[in-house]
């Protein structure tokens, strides 16, 4: 087997550009149980932006807002609304990661640089992926600070209890019609990922619309990036709705893993997070579709949690509604019980649920 030219230790952080980072930070603390750990902004010598770093187990979210209108981040938000800008990848050698990917055709977003403070140094370098989204390679083996050089530790007087969110399972990108294979090839050739799974429009179609999806995964399987594109249907695909409101390709959803999905989802619901609903008929023949599961059916039904199976086991999952007014980014909560991949069974139920929401928005 060929040596992995881009070894990745995992997701380092996900940065969202948002209209009001101060308020978004409280939303993710309060509703999702993240803890505020670090901050950069005017008080730390950063003049043009404010960034809040939130953590829960292995997940780090960075929420950034610009402080004025004439700023690339302001333009990003004007075009896309709140959304994911950076999917940062934790590596042992940022410069080599940048060299290996740019030499294979990746467009550089920023050349390798060393950033330092009294806690050590971090090497970072970035490349573009779909749309205006970037991957930043983060090499932090010589750093002992709270996040990155320039950030200061910061705590909130609100001390949330975690709700069992553990790590980012996968991040999904929506791209334009005809562009899915281009981006799958990008991940294969430029980043050394492998194609894990293909869903065609027969797998994922409802009465009205359809989409196609391919899942790529890196060598150790820690990073999974499904890529969706719209497919022809009677009405507008939900992927088209996303592309229209995001103003191009971007991250559609982030899936976060838990070991106890009933607890996690109960807490999210109690704190006001809204989820897509499937009809109760979804549960009528669920066990015939997925076989025996450890969980009682009733709590899953009460919480509207979906169950699916691949050839190694099963998984439990649920999807939030979009977390901003534009129908763009949403979250998935996932608990894997043996399944390392994805099932095909939930797509139809999920997409019908999304279409009901799309119809309410007048976009179907």
Tell me the binding residues for Fe cation: 170, 253, 332
**Closer CB to Fe ion, 206 or 341, in the complex:** 341
CB of residue 170 vs Fe ion: minimum separation in angstroms?
A: 6
Residue 169 lies near Fe ion (rule: CB under 5 A)? no
CB of residue 20 vs Fe ion: minimum separation in angstroms?
A: 27
Q: Which residues pair with 320 in a beta bridge?
A: 275
Region near Fe ion per CB under 5 A, out of 6-14, 76-84, 247-255, 323-331: 247-255
Region near Fe ion per CB under 5 A, out of 14-22, 44-52, 211-219, 325-333: 325-333
| Site for Fe ion, residues 50 to 79, rule: CB under 5 A | none
Q: Which residues pair with 139 in a beta bridge?
A: 123
Give the integer Cα–Cα distance in Å for 197 and 179: 17
Applying CB under 5 A, among 15, 132, 240, 332 the residue interacting with Fe ion is: 332
CB of residue 172 vs Fe ion: minimum separation in angstroms?
A: 5
How many other CB atoms sit within 10 Å of the CB of residue 69?
8
CB neighbour list of residue 229: distance below 8 Å, 6 or more residues apart = 174, 175, 176, 177, 178, 179, 180, 211, 212, 213, 239
Residue 255 lies near Fe ion (rule: CB under 5 A)? yes
CB of residue 73 vs Fe ion: minimum separation in angstroms?
A: 27
Region near Fe ion per CB under 5 A, out of 6-14, 216-224, 255-263, 282-290: 255-263
For the record, the structure tokens of 29 come out as 């603390």
**Closer CB to Fe ion, 86 or 251, in the complex:** 251
CB of residue 337 vs Fe ion: minimum separation in angstroms?
A: 16
CB of residue 193 vs Fe ion: minimum separation in angstroms?
A: 16
Phi, psi angles (nearest 5°) of residue 95: -65, -45
Region near Fe ion per CB under 5 A, out of 11-19, 29-37, 233-241, 332-340: 332-340
**Closer CB to Fe ion, 18 or 255, in the complex:** 255
CB of residue 255 vs Fe ion: minimum separation in angstroms?
A: 4
**Closer CB to Fe ion, 251 or 286, in the complex:** 251
Residue 315 lies near Fe ion (rule: CB under 5 A)? no
**Closer CB to Fe ion, 229 or 332, in the complex:** 332
Interface with Fe ion: number of residues (CB under 5 A): 2
CB of residue 332 vs Fe ion: minimum separation in angstroms?
A: 4
Q: Which residue has the tokens 């099963």?
A: 314
**Closer CB to Fe ion, 255 or 323, in the complex:** 255
> Nearest-5° angle of CA 169, CA 99, CA 225?
20
Contact 146, 224 (CB under 8 A): no
Region near Fe ion per CB under 5 A, out of 6-14, 136-144, 328-336, 344-352: 328-336
**Closer CB to Fe ion, 76 or 224, in the complex:** 224
**Closer CB to Fe ion, 94 or 255, in the complex:** 255
Q: Name the residues that contact Fe ion, by CB under 5 A.
A: 255, 332
């Amino acid at each position: 087997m060929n040596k992995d030219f881009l070894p990745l230790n995992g997701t380092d952080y996900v940065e969202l550009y948002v209209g009001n980072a101060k308020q978004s930070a409280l939303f993710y603390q309060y509703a999702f149980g993240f803890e505020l750990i670090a901050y950069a902004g005017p008080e730390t010598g950063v003049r043009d932006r404010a960034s809040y770093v939130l953590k829960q187990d292995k997940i780090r979210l960075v929420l950034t807002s610009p402080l004025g209108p004439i700023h690339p981040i302001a333009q990003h938000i004007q075009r896309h609304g709140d959304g994911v800008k950076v999917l940062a990848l934790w590596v042992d050698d940022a410069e080599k990661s940048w060299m290996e990917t740019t030499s294979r055709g990746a467009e550089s977003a920023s050349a390798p640089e060393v950033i330092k403070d009294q806690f050590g140094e971090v090497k970072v370098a970035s490349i573009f992926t779909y749309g205006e989204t970037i991957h930043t390679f983060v090499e932090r083996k010589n750093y002992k600070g709270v996040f990155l050089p320039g950030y200061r530790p910061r705590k909130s007087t609100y001390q949330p209890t975690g709700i069992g969110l553990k790590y980012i399972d996968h991040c999904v990108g929506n791209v334009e019609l005809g562009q899915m294979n281009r981006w799958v090839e990008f991940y294969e050739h430029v980043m050394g990922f492998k194609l894990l799974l293909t869903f065609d429009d027969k797998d994922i179609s409802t009465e009205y619309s359809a989409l196609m999806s391919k899942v790529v995964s890196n060598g150790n399987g820690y990073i999974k990036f499904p890529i969706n594109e719209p497919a022809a249907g009677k009405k507008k695909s939900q992927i088209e709705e996303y592309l229209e409101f995001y103003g191009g390709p971007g991250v559609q959803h982030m899936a976060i893993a838990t070991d106890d999905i009933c607890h996690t989802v109960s807490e999210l619901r109690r704190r006001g997070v809204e989820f897509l609903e499937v009809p109760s008929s979804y549960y009528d023949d669920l066990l015939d579709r997925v076989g025996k599961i450890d969980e009682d059916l009733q709590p899953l039904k009460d919480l509207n949690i979906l169950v699916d199976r691949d050839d190694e086991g099963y998984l439990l999952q649920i999807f939030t509604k979009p977390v901003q007014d534009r129908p763009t980014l949403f979250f998935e909560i996932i608990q894997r019980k043996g399944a390392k991949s994805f099932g095909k069974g939930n797509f139809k139920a999920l997409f019908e649920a999304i279409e009901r929401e799309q119809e309410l928005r007048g976009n179907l």
